[in-house]
Amino acid sequence: MSDIDPITLWTVIIGLAVGSFALRFAFIGIMGGRTMPDWLMRHLRYTAVAIIPALVAPLVVWPTPTGGEPSLIHLAVGCATLAVGYFTRNVFAGMGTGAVLLIGYLSLFS
């Protein structure tokens, strides 16, 4: 894993700080009580639940630890983590399951 270039890093930190604050301040500070159009709100509701899976799916199919080679164990552990998170509605139950399965596999077979 190569280190992150400091200029990129600080641009991202400052950009995110300003951007996140702007998102939070947009309505309470500037927009007042004005409402946004329905079609926009309807798309915004699905932003996080679309972006995060889009970010993670390639990381599960082509995992970094194998150098990008598809690996059945990483795929299986990923699916189990998602399923447990979905059925228990609990982030930590999902993460715990994934961590235990991955550590279990690594300590048995490597």
Partner 1 sequence: MAITTTSAAFWKGFRDGAPFILVSGPFGLLFGVLASEAGLDVLTATSFSMAVFAGSAQFTALQLMQEQAPTVVILISALAVNLRVAMYSASLTPYLGEAPLWKRAFAAYFTVDQSYALSIVQFETGEPLSLNQRLAYFFGTNGLVAPVWMSATVMGALLGNQVPESWGLDFVLPLAFLAMIGPMMRTPAHVVACFTAIAVSLPASMLPYNLGLIVAGLAGMMAGAQAELHLPPSGRKDVTPAQAQETQA
User: Token pair for residue 69?
Assistant: 């080679």
Within residues 53-72, the interface with partner 1 by CB under 8 A covers: 53-65
Q: Does 43 bind partner 1 (CB under 8 A)?
A: yes
Q: Shortest gap between Cβ of 27 and partner 1 (angstroms)?
A: 4
Q: Does 1 bind partner 1 (CB under 8 A)?
A: yes
Pair 81, 99: CB distance under 8 Å: no
Taking residues 82 to 101 in sequence order and writing x for each that binds partner 1 by CB under 8 A, - otherwise, the string is: xxxxxxxxxxxxxx--xx--
Within residues 8-37, the interface with partner 1 by CB under 8 A covers: 8-9, 11-17, 19-21, 23-29, 31-33, 35-36
Q: How distant, in Å, are the alpha carbons of 14, 39, 51, 78, 91 from that of 57?
A: 28, 27, 10, 9, 18
User: Token pair for residue 31?
Assistant: 């927009």
CB burial readout 8-36, b (16+ within 10 A) else e: eeeeeeeeeeeeeeeeeeeeeeeeeeeee
86 vs 104 by CB, closer to partner 1:
86
Q: Shortest gap between Cβ of 29 and partner 1 (angstroms)?
A: 5
Out of 2, 69, 107, 109, point to the residue binding partner 1 (CB under 8 A): 2
